[in-house]
Amino acid sequence: MPTSTPTREQIRQAPKVLLHDHLDGGLRPSTVAELAAEIGHELPVADPADIGQWFADAANSGSLVRYLETFDHTVAVMQTGTALSRVARECVEDLVADGVVYAEIRYAPEQHVSNGLTLDEVVAAVQEGFDQAVAAADGRIVVRQLLTAMRHQARSMEIAQLAIAWRDRGVAGFDIAGAEDGFPPTRHLDAFEYLQRENAHFTIHAGEAFGLPSIWQAIQWCGADRLGHGVRIIDDITVNDDGSVELGRLAAYVRDQRIPLEMCPWSNIQTGAATSIAEHPIGLLTRLKFRVTVNTDNRLMSGTSMTREMTSLVEAFDYGLDDLRWFTINAMKSAFLPFDERLAIIDDVIKPGYAALAAD
């Protein structure tokens, strides 16, 4: 039990590390409206001022069709280098305001070539936006790209090669995303084997909408460094009537190997992976000392931020600053960044930041 509950302002000020955030899921509503007007893209509401509420309503509708429709509009306005750079720059600006000191932002380059951009031009445009915002932040944040391949498409090897080509220029790793059911990660085994031969890092969306087989394949067949969401690992854990806990072999392996779980509480509620924050598996997984990290997933669709995610956990589980510090160090340890750079952020930024808050 914490000696005192941190205030929302303390949580906002606390250093944060974000490993799972989608670029096309984090636009400012005003930016969506302005970019849509520039290209003549029709939005689902007549008044641009209502676009933010529409995204929230669609994401909370309980309809997967409506939830996915939201990305049709954000991706549509991200088809030029100028737009991509703007969205990337604003993303970092918003994270800095939210106290994020390290972030890995993911997106699928293949979804941004409809107007003739090459994959290289897409990555370059995003990097330009990141660089501008990082420079303006004067050292308060480090940002890296994660390049995502869509699991229902057949371009994963191409995107994996793109990630390798850019790994010394701002790209930290690779990911696959999209519908899990019917599109197992083993369909992209050649890409993962290529990345392993190149000593590259990758995460895999697994255990969100589909169960243990997706997690098992991601780890044991594909060699994932981290699990995107991984919330369904709870299906391999039994809580007995007397309160004792038994881990199945897969859950025990994930915990023993310290495989990071990129957990996104509010997004998981919207997609049905959890019923509420209080009942989210993150509570039990944290108590069992899995390598749990806290993330936003899609800030626009979920109307969320790292401050909101952490505040919700504090309210649901009575966490204190020490717990938030634990989540943050977990995430930094799990980042796709060289060891010495991770250690420097932990020792020079995260620990002093939390110490100062505790002293106050």
- Compute the mean pLDDT over every residue in the chain, rounded to the nearest whole number: 95
Percent of the chain topping pLDDT 90: 88
pLDDT grade for 65, boundaries at 50, 70 and 90: low
Q: According to the model, what pLDDT value does residue 2 have? A: 46
pLDDT grade for 291, boundaries at 50, 70 and 90: very high
What's the token pair of residue 106?
Answer: 């993911």
Amino acid at 73: H
Q: What is the 3-state secondary structure (H, E, C) of 86-121?
A: HHHHHHHHHHHHCCEEEEEEEECHHHHCCCCCCHHH
pLDDT grade for 63, boundaries at 50, 70 and 90: low
pLDDT grade for 30, boundaries at 50, 70 and 90: very high
What's the token pair of residue 214?
Answer: 């997706």
Q: State yes or no: pLDDT of 210 exceeds 70.
A: yes
Q: State yes or no: pLDDT of 182 exceeds 90.
A: no
Q: How far apart are the first and last CA of the chain?
A: 19
φ, ψ for residue 188 (rounded to 5)? -115, 30
Q: According to the model, what pLDDT value does residue 209 have? A: 73
In the chain the domains, ranked by start, together with CATH numbers, are 8-27+78-359 (3.20.20.140)
What pTM, to 2 d.p., does this model score? 0.96
The HSE-up count of residue 144 (CA atoms within 13 Å, CB side) is: 25
User: Could you tell me which of 191, 186, 187 has the C-alpha nearest to residue 173?
Assistant: 191
φ, ψ for residue 226 (rounded to 5)? -140, 165
Strand partners, 262: 228, 293
User: Could you tell me which of 194, 186, 30 has the C-alpha nearest to residue 206?
Assistant: 186
What are the tens digits of pLDDT across the range 75-89?
Answer: 999 999 999 999 999
The predicted model gives 339-345 an average pLDDT of 98
Amino acid at 6: P
Active site amino acids: 208
Q: State yes or no: pLDDT of 172 exceeds 80.
A: yes
The predicted model gives 212-228 an average pLDDT of 96
Q: State yes or no: pLDDT of 102 exceeds 70.
A: yes
Q: State yes or no: pLDDT of 64 exceeds 70.
A: no
Q: According to the model, what pLDDT value does residue 3 have? A: 55
Strand partners, 142: 102
Q: State yes or no: pLDDT of 61 exceeds 90.
A: no
- What's the CA gap between 324 and 330, in Å, rounded? 10
> Is 17:335 a contact under the CB 8 Å cutoff?
yes
> Is 290:327 a contact under the CB 8 Å cutoff?
no
The predicted model gives 250-276 an average pLDDT of 94
Q: What is the 3-state secondary structure (H, E, C) of the chain?
A: CCCCCCCHHHHHHCCEEEEEEEHHHCCCHHHHHHHHHHHCCCCCCCCHHHHHHHHHHHHCCCCHHHHHHHHHHHHHCCCCHHHHHHHHHHHHHHHHHCCEEEEEEEECHHHHCCCCCCHHHHHHHHHHHHHHHHHHCCCCCEEEEEEEEECCCCCHHHHHHHHHHCCCCCEEEEEEECCCCCCCHHHHHHHHHHHHHCCCCEEEEECCCCCHHHHHHHHHHCCCCEEEECHHHHHHEEECCCCCEEECHHHHHHHHCCCCEEECHHHHHHCCCCCCCCCCCHHHHHHCCCCEEECCECHHHHCCCHHHHHHHHHHHHCCCHHHHHHHHHHHHHHCCCCHHHHHHHHHHHHHHHHHHHHHC
The predicted model gives 149-153 an average pLDDT of 94
Most confident of 59-63, 181-185, 314-318: 314-318
The predicted model gives 190-197 an average pLDDT of 98
Q: According to the model, what pLDDT value does residue 1 have? A: 43
